[in-house]
A and B are shown apart, each in its own frame.
Chain A
Amino acid sequence: MIQYVWLVPLFPLIGFLITGLGRNTLGKSSGWIASMAILASFIVSCIIFFDVQALPENVFEKGGGPVIVQLFDFIKTQSMQIGFDFQVDALTSIFLLVITGIGFLIHLYSISYMGHDDGYGKFFSYLNLFIFSMLLLVLGANYLIMFIGWEGVGLCSYLLIGFWYKNVAYTDAAKKAFIMNRIGDLGFLIGIFLIFSRYNTLDFKSLQFLISHDTYDATFISSVALCFFVGATGKSAQLPLFTWLPDAMAGPTPVSALIHAATMVTAGIYMITRSHFIYSIAPYAQHVILIIGLATALIAATIATQQNDIKKVLAYSTVSQLGFMFMALGVGAYTAAIFHVVTHAFFKALLFLGSGSVIHAVDGEQDIRHMGGLKKYMKTTYATFLIGCIAIAGIPPLSGFFSKDEIMMHVFTYPIYGNIFWVLGMLAALMTAYYMFRLLFITFHGEYRGKGHPHESPALMTIPLIVLAIFSALGGLIGIPEVLGGHHALHEFLSPVLLKSTGMNANVNHLSHESEYILMGVAVLIAVIGILIAWFGYKKYNAAAEAKGIASFFEQKWYFDEAYDNIIVKPLYHISSFSEKVIEKSGLDGIVNGIGKMIQLGSTRLRLLQSGLVGFYLFLIVIGIVLLFALQLLYNKFL
């Protein structure tokens, strides 16, 4: 079946074409067509997943690697050959499952959520295109195909964030997302150029071989690693390019779920994990990733504690959780990062769809200060949302606990200030538990403070919630650590992909069982403390107090947007209009026009020479001859 992996992206592509071309004629059926396309992809992905499980050891014994499926030549000249090829291995197959599985649930949910929207057909065609691009990204067998998918998700996020195009603020958010991503893309591209100029190929498989057999050039490898990381900060919303993600909630809520959980933001994690053969020998770059990841996790968490928009809290929570994943990548714990990608995909999709259900119930209100007491009205949504909160807070045995714990364990054993990173990471974890339960209590507990009569959402919306809640609760089972008697299935599954390049930082997990127990206990304790603070602060929440001091600083998102606006955007436009007025119009064009004027002026003078007096002409001829002779003399003498 692996040879037919192209079916996986083909279905969404067909779905995109059908729903896109028939957006005016298909009516409500386009939602079902789009969903079925993703379901078909999901089924194929499942089969491939099992095929891959049967595969890796055999392939590796033969000295092979991932299965490459060649489709056609994309760029083919004597100096550059890049195929449109797909690659399937354990890492790919996990992402295929997450993308199509969660993608399918989000599609189902959208059928009901977007039911009354004018752009119903268009919406589903974009969703399918989004899934297609993301699949291309994870299936590509070389950096170019990956980059195609990479830009594709950027495009789709642009189209979907600005879906309600009449609102200028929304289209601004869409533009911002695309441009911030493009800044990162430039880094990614330069990394690709670097790689290609040295190795003349962009295939992962060949590169892994070439790099491991190349003389070690620290500057080169670090440059590549950092360039790629710049790309990752754009797509995965890390410092300093994270500000687009919270704005991206301008799009319909299912889109937020798609962007934050199944697609898009996980692209950076995937890309770095896929490039593990570069990062494992680039310790400086890894260190940078660790620091950026930690800083993002902390800053985003502080912002999340002060937001009052239900989707904004979740958005900053995503940024913060992505920071955790990057910390894992920074210490070389790729499996832990992927583990957290998977569990996070479950509970973040759940939370976003849950928030959509809430927003749907209260007539489009997103401000949690005007909600409250909703658990009475919408029991399913409340129960599933609660599971999501517990999972993200890191309370065992729900999924978030295992993945976050694994990351923190690796951070703790990191040889350079690992314990300090651990403490700071735990601070972010504390805030995570706090802001999630603050959100839960303000939204669902207390008395209802809004207008109208909230109601539970239809089954088409609650069923995906229930499914996702089950996965959020049980998802951790795929990675139960040995110390708790498990055998970490995910780690075993991924090990053929990642085993070959264990760098200096990877797998330094030499903790004794006792210390592991202690770290776990502390982690759980911290989560409980966070929840308790939220409980005492917000169990009987009634009206918001004005945020003061540092809290207001957090509420204003550390003034990142304002700073970018004043440091980059405004000066850019000032320089541009200045250049237009001064350099372009007066300077360059002035010179051109000036030369023209001078010639005109000169010719009015020269015209006087055409006097018609033969004597004057003769005089000039004589002068001319003399000059020619003089020139000839000079020429003979000096040259």
Chain B
Amino acid sequence: MLIVLLILVPFLAGLAAMAMPSSKVHIHAIGASVLTLVLGSVCYYYFTHPGMGETTFSYPWIEKLGASFSVAMDDGLTVLMVMLTALAFPLIFISLLNKIPDRPSTFFGLMLMAQAGLMGVFLAKDALLFYLFWEVALIPVYFLSSMYGGPRRIPVTFKFFVYTFVGSLIMLVSMIYIYQQTPIHSFSWSSFVSVGQSLPSNQQNWLFWMMFVAFAIKMPVFPFHTWQPDAYEQSATPVTIVLSALMVKMGLFAVVRWLLPVIPLGSMHWMNIVMLLSIIGVVYASFMALVQTNIKRLIAYSSIAHIGLMCAAIFSHQIIGMQGVAIQMFNHGINILGLWILVSIIEHRLNTQDMREMGGVAKIAPAFTIALVLISLANIALPLTNGFIGEFMMFNGLFNSVSPYRTVFTVVAGLGIILAAVYTLGMIQKVAYGELKTSTSSFKDLSKNEWVVLIIVMFIILWLGFYPSVLMKLVDVNL
């Protein structure tokens, strides 16, 4: 029962927040998100100590259709994603203490609803429920993106919404098709897996694309990525965090949970094509990142490059690669969250996203600079930061895949490692080094609440980078 609260608490708190006066809603949101985090930690404890408590829940929902409200936290990837979702929101809310958004009731209400939707996506064990949450998570983010952010936010968000919505409709069609094939007409994950595996390969081959396109748009994988830099740039940064730390993980997660087991032959059949697209994406997005002057677009492209590598590693069909992906999905979420919080600090102080107007703050904002350097280094997977282990395992998976092009894939994807260093160090240099400019001369160092958030992020980076055994235990059980 506890596990249902992971969805219910943020959902109800979100509803309540909408009705609250602006002055109290921030504290309310922090409280609710911390409560969710506590609940998540308890579930995590139950998961790692079997027999202590239930981490599954199932209740008939639409019996005629064979759909049930069934949620479970029964594998390492789900645990990691739930923990990431539970952790991200309190951090975002705390970082906002000195940057209160307009219409806070709406803002925090929608944010909490988005958290509920995300939790649902990661926990659902029923295809219809999964689809429902997939859309439920999108709606609050759609409103957030179109209400808060840059001047072009309305058309950009509209495009993002239509793009991902088209993708999910196609996915729904394919899910209904599979549902039709199930002997007892059930939406449950296990019946999907068993019927999917028995589908003939020619059906799997087209079903694969119907589902994959939806996930590929969400991740996004090259060439379905063009909505992303615009959306990241135009959305308010807290919303960008939800998009890039969590929502893109929905795509990867869905591939691992709903595509590979359900359409195994199709996934094998198209392995090379998907890996090719992903790896083109790694290099292509890195190239794009090189020439960005807008810091949000730079990070957006960097994220596309990282996601591309994760997607390629998933399709390596190697256990080590999958484990690496699971680890990296969590760590990438933490790192990108840290980066965006730094960006929001810059935006708040300088009111610009243009890196040409930044520079020299290392002297007057040492704490900010330390956080910037450390989190950036984690983002380029420096050893002893959390970014490294996952990447190392993913590359090993890629290199050992059954694809005949594995060596080429690995080497080309490896170029991403070099290019990542180029654009990330360039970013540090432009933001922090050099002489102070008039625009940056009054840059204030981290405030207390920002410091707390970034300390937590940096602690996770170093802890999991130095001693990743927690992650290893989670991914080694089963994915």
A residues lining the B interface (CB < 8 Å): 72-80, 144, 147-148, 151-152, 155, 158, 162, 165-166, 168, 171-172, 174-175, 178-179, 182-183, 185-186, 189-190, 193-194, 196-197, 572-573, 575-577, 579-580, 583-584, 588-589, 592-593, 596
Contacts and interface: CB of A to CB of B under 8 A. Distances in A.
B433 A168 contact: yes
Given A80-B320, A189-B414, A193-B410, A596 B288 contact: no
Given A75-B472, A580-B291, A596-B159, A166 B418 contact: no
A196 B162 CA distance: 45
B226 interface: yes
Given A171-B433, A175-B429, A193-B396, A580 B226 contact: no
A596 B377 CA distance: 39
B2 interface: no
Interface stretch (B128-136, B194-202, B243-251, B381-389): B381-389
Contacts of A576: 287-288, 290-291
A575 B287 contact: yes
Interface of B: 159, 162-163, 223, 225-227, 284, 287-288, 290-291, 318-320, 323, 360, 362-363, 377, 382-384, 388-389, 392-393, 395-396, 399-400, 410-411, 414-415, 417-418, 421-422, 425-426, 429, 432-435, 467-469, 472, 475-476
Contacts of A583: 284
Contacts of B396: 80, 193, 196-197
Nearest to A592: B226
Nearest to B414: A186
A197 B399 contact: yes
A71 to B, nearest CB: 10
Contacts of B162: 596
Given A151-B383, A152-B384, A573-B290, A77 B475 contact: yes
Given A165-B434, A182-B421, A190-B410, A72 B287 contact: no
The 4 closest A-B pairs by CB, nearest first: A148-B383, A589-B226, A193-B399, A165-B433
12 contacts: A74-B389, A147-B383, A155-B382, A174-B425, A175-B429, A186-B411, A193-B395, A193-B399, A193-B400, A197-B400, A579-B287, A596-B162
Given A78-B476, A186-B418, A197-B396, 8 more contacts: A75-B393, A75-B468, A77-B393, A77-B475, A174-B425, A175-B429, A182-B418, A580-B288
A74 B468 contact: yes
B469 A76 contact: yes
Nearest to A584: B288
Nearest to B321: A79
Nearest to A184: B418
Dominant secondary structure at the B interface: helix
A158 B382 CA distance: 13
Given A579-B284, A584-B226, A166 B467 contact: no
A186 B377 CA distance: 16
A196 B318 CA distance: 14
Contact of A166 (B290, B421, B435): B435
Nearest to B420: A182
A186 B163 CA distance: 36
B290 A77 contact: no
A438 B205 CA distance: 73
B316 to A, nearest CB: 12
A272 to B, nearest CB: 20
A444 to B, nearest CB: 36
Q: Among B318, B410, B433, which residue has the most Cβ atoms of chain A within 10 A?
A: B433
Contacts of B400: 193, 197
Contacts of B388: 148
A592 B227 contact: yes
A615 B414 CA distance: 65
B418 to A, nearest CB: 5
Contacts of B414: 186, 189-190
A151 B400 CA distance: 24
A596 B469 CA distance: 48
Contacts of B432: 165
A80 B468 CA distance: 13
B224 to A, nearest CB: 8
